[in-house]
Structure 1
């Protein structure tokens, strides 16, 4: 998976060269800033992937199965993660965020209500599996 990190490093270098050429030809701040942010984002993702893979290789005592030329698909088997079977909380988070947006149009009292509702619904979303039927 180290290839993915170098792909993002390559994107960062490409965006950097493009940013320099764009600035020299156009002298326009908006596009130059957007390309500079693209350099930072691609570099950040490449950095994260690169060092996450290094940490995983140390924990695995060798290369990951993706990097092993003799690796088998069976080596990738196992638990991928926990995925929620169903949840109503994202609906409440979206409704309270919409309440904040409507509050910016119609009145600040609705923004205050929307912020309180967003905080409560985010807490409900985060702690959904700490209580009740689906507790683990």
Structure 2
């Protein structure tokens, strides 16, 4: 994780330089505030990765003397196909459309359908074909 911390650290340094330069060139509040927030978010990720990299045992990618075989084995759980993200996105679209046209009844229908879709997404691996 040390290389990831370095990459995000370099990105933080880049945004620290670019944010005031953007303000001096354009005097644009919107873009400057977006760049400042981006700087802070990237700095937060840098700190998180840096603290965790210091506490972890080095991964094979972080060691200079590592062999290819050191990285062999199970990498983790990768979920199979799922239709629930589609339904979550569709209900979010219904809710946003309801807000855009000031149809509160459509927004409320979207909230209820979105709650069902979100429950389906969260509890997908507790029932059905892929139950654990």
Q: TM-score, normalised by structure 1?
A: 0.83
What per-residue deviation string (whole Å, max 9, x for no partner) do you get for residues 51-78 of structure 1?
Answer: 2323332xxxxx2211211101111122
* Deviation larger for 67-76 or 79-88: 79-88
Aligned residues: 131
Relative distance call for 1:19 and 1:70 in structure 2 (3 A) is same
Task: Report what 1:40 is aligned to.
Answer: 40
Q: Does 1:86 align with 2:84?
A: no
Residue 120 of structure 1 corresponds to which residue in structure 2?
116
Q: CA deviation at 1:25?
A: 4.1
Secondary structure of 1:87's partner? coil
Aligned to 1:74: 69
Q: Deviations over 1:74-100 (max 9, x none)?
A: 111222222222222122212211211
Q: Decide whether the 8 Å contact of 2:3 with 2:62 is kept in 1.
A: no
Q: Pairwise CA RMSD of aligned residues?
A: 1.8
- 1:20 alignment counterpart: 20
Q: Which runs of no fewer than 5 residues in structure 2 stay unpaired? A: none
Q: 1:109 is matched with which residue?
A: 105
- CA spacing shift, 1:69–1:39, aligned 2, 3 Å: same
| CA distance, structure 2, for counterparts of residue 87 and residue 14 of structure 1 | 38
- Partner of 1:70, secondary structure, is coil
Q: TM-score by structure 2 length? A: 0.85
| Match of residue 10 from structure 1 | 10
